[in-house]
Amino acid sequence: MVGAAFGSTWGAHYGIDKFEVSSYDGWQWEAESSILACSWAKIPIILSSLDVWIRQHAAGRAYFTIPQLKKERLADAPRSGSLYDRAYITADNDDESASTMTMREKLGFDFDCFLRYILPPNTDSNGPSGRQPLRILGDRLRALLGTHLEVHPGTKIPMALLSGPFESESGAIDTGVEKMQRLFWLVRGGACLQDDQTWETTRTGFQHILELIANVGAREPLDDYDEPTSGQREAASSPPPPPPTTPLERLKLAAGLLALFDFLGVFDAQWPRYIVQTSLLQVSRLIPGSEPRSAQEGLLGALASKLRGVLGRHGGRVVDARHVGMGWAARLESPRACVREVACTDICRQRAKMYLYPPEGTAEGDTLPSSPVVGAAGGGFGHEPWSDFGLD
């Protein structure tokens, strides 16, 4: 069923960067939307179906065809001698098909790189701001996402992935992590916001994300758990409760969701200006008057800087129409907005350039334009005064 719905998309553009696609005519986006709306349509089932489809229809076809980007991408999370050495095969080296990664392993690799980029493993949730390289947004993230077209751009993202909630009533975030992983696969595969997915939906999700950040360390999931007596312990047959969620895990979930929202154009293209203003005011009230002293405060500062940047661009913003649905791109065509049209080769080259080189600049010494949140999150130069997160 999944293969039948997605087969036309996979068959036409398996392994092709979405910026190389010239036409979406004839694809079954309604069927894809119907499948994704089902409660059973989770990542394991979808990717298992994709593996079956590949064996039947795409054996030997290249999945990823930018050798230099492949080399650097693998170096981001090196696992010498493992399947990750063959994360992205080409048709020329498919003789070792027995060791080829499954689509679930490929997604796991990309998802791991995504989380490492946003919140590196050595981040301390209570450490000083200068050691908090929180990178929830920015151009380099765009080079990591959105390279493989596996979803029709007209396919509707399930509402639950945009509106939340992303944690249970007890404070567990397992559901939120699963939703973030599904949203990651959809965004990476080319999904866009549709006309009927209004800003009210994503604003609700944004409120749930703010709750994740604001409540870090305030309440552990096991607060309401009562230790059973000896007699009750012997009679109990239920498994022990899961380990408590750490503050850093909650921040990583929130940062990942914010990054995906930004990539979809939620803040730049979908939200009205007054919603951005009220959201900035709400975030600013959570920020202390001093410099950030924890990852929680650093993430809030990065988010505030992002929203301030959006307000500054509302008068004449530059948005790549291919990052948002065609309906939203049409709305951006106005005297106060400019949709940038760039050649496909230039886009691919720039995306690879942004990902391959460090934040300081390219190999030739050229300085790349950095995101406004990099300075705010890292606590370095370019950091806006923490006392000045008000409205314009």
Total count of residues recorded for the chain: 392
Confidence tier at 14 by pLDDT (50, 70, 90): confident
- Say whether pLDDT at 212 is over 60: yes
pLDDT for the residue numbered 110: 80
Round to whole Å and give the CA distance between 192 and 189: 10
* 3-state SS assignment for residue 317: strand
Round to whole Å and give the CA distance between 367 and 358: 10
- Say whether pLDDT at 127 is over 80: no
User: Scanning the structure block, which residue is given the tokens 């850093």?
Assistant: 248
pLDDT for the residue numbered 27: 63
Total Cβ atoms within 10 A of residue 38: 12
- Classify residue 228 by its DSSP letter: P
Confidence tier at 49 by pLDDT (50, 70, 90): very high
pLDDT: is 149 or 318 the higher one?
Answer: 149
As a whole number, mean pLDDT of residues 79-95 equals 47
Round to whole Å and give the CA distance between 166 and 212: 8
Region of 15 on the Ramachandran plot (φ > 0 left; ψ -120 to 50 alpha; else beta): left
**Tens digits of residue pLDDT in 141-159:** 665 665 677 888 889 999 9
Are 353 and 366 within 8 A, CB to CB?
no
Tokens of 99: 């060791």
- Say whether pLDDT at 1 is over 80: yes
Among the listed ranges 29-43, 46-60, 165-179, which one has the minimum average pLDDT value?
Answer: 46-60
pLDDT for the residue numbered 216: 80
- Say whether pLDDT at 243 is over 50: yes
| Angle between helix 273-284 and helix 199-214 axes, rounded to 10 deg | 10
Distances (CA, A) of 167 to 137, 170, 178, 220: 22, 8, 10, 12
Element (H, E) at 145: none
As a whole number, mean pLDDT of residues 350-366 equals 36
* 3-state SS assignment for residue 17: coil
Bridge partners, 320 (sequence order): 340
Round to whole Å and give the CA distance between 251 and 276: 21
pLDDT for the residue numbered 84: 46
Confidence tier at 11 by pLDDT (50, 70, 90): confident
Among the listed ranges 88-92, 166-170, 379-383, which one has the minimum average pLDDT value?
Answer: 379-383
